[in-house]
Amino acid sequence: MITIVPIAPEHNAELFRIIRSSLEEFDIDLNGTVYVDPYLDNMYRHFSVPGKAYFIAMEDGKVLGGSGIAPLDDIDKEVCELQRMFVTKDARGRRIGRLLMDTCLTKAKEMGFKKCYLETFDEMKDAIRLYENSGFEYLNAAMGNTGHFSCKTWMLRDL
């Protein structure tokens, strides 16, 4: 059975591996992506502050993926960003991404956010289809200052 839990320190190493291997799989292990984010090796610490949350999908004690929510820097405080949503290759197609995203969006509403922004890559077609089916709409340009200048797909939805 899949469970969704808040991130804990013991999830850091496996989450680091999942995110990096996913980006490598799609040949998007580039500067200007989460691949080089300085806090990627300690996501627990990064998301353990007020206004942020990160959730892990688990099954039989194994980390299958994760996703987080945080304020979008340099933008209206009512806009959050869906961040670092990655699922292991062998766990894809099991609606785990949907479960993680829905958990994050529910948390974002509870935290008082009114809109949710995300950035991704054209190569991540399954993720984009999930976002489209979840009410995200395309934007013509990036919002905020995420530092992820290699992401060329930007989307936004009301919460």
Q: Which domain does 88 fall in, by range?
A: 2-114
User: Which DSSP state fits 49?
Assistant: S
Note the pLDDT of residue 56: 97
For residue 103, give the H/E element and its range: helix 96-110
Name the domain count of the chain: 1
Q: How many residues does the chain have?
A: 159
For residue 11, is it within any domain? yes
Confidence label for 41 from pLDDT (cuts 50, 70 and 90): confident
For residue 72, is it within any domain? yes
For residue 133, is it within any domain? no
**For 100-113, what is the mean pLDDT?**
97
For residue 119, is it within any domain? no
Which CATH number belongs to the domain containing residue 86 in this structure?
3.40.630.30
Q: How far is CA 42 from the centre of its chain?
A: 15
Based on C-alpha coordinates, what's the Rg of the chain? Answer: 14
For residue 7 the two structure tokens come to 């991130």
Among the listed residues 159, 104, 90, 101, the one whose alpha carbon sits nearest the alpha carbon of residue 130: 101
Q: How far apart are the first and last CA of the chain?
A: 28
**For 23-36, what is the mean pLDDT?**
64
For residue 120, is it within any domain? no
Among the listed residues 23, 4, 157, 6, the one whose alpha carbon sits nearest the alpha carbon of residue 82: 157
Q: Is 38 helix (H, G, I), strand (E, B) or coil?
A: coil
For residue 127, is it within any domain? no
Percent of the chain residues topping a pLDDT of 70: 89
**pTM score above 0.95:** no
Tell me the pLDDT tens digit for each residue of 43-102. 899 899 999 999 999 999 999 999 999 998 777 789 999 988 888 888 888 899 999 999
For residue 121, is it within any domain? no
Task: Report yes or no: 50 and 80 within 8 Å, Cβ to Cβ.
Answer: no
Note the pLDDT of residue 23: 74
Lowest mean pLDDT among 33-37, 78-82, 102-106: 33-37
For residue 100, is it within any domain? yes
Residue 16 has pLDDT above 90, yes or no: no
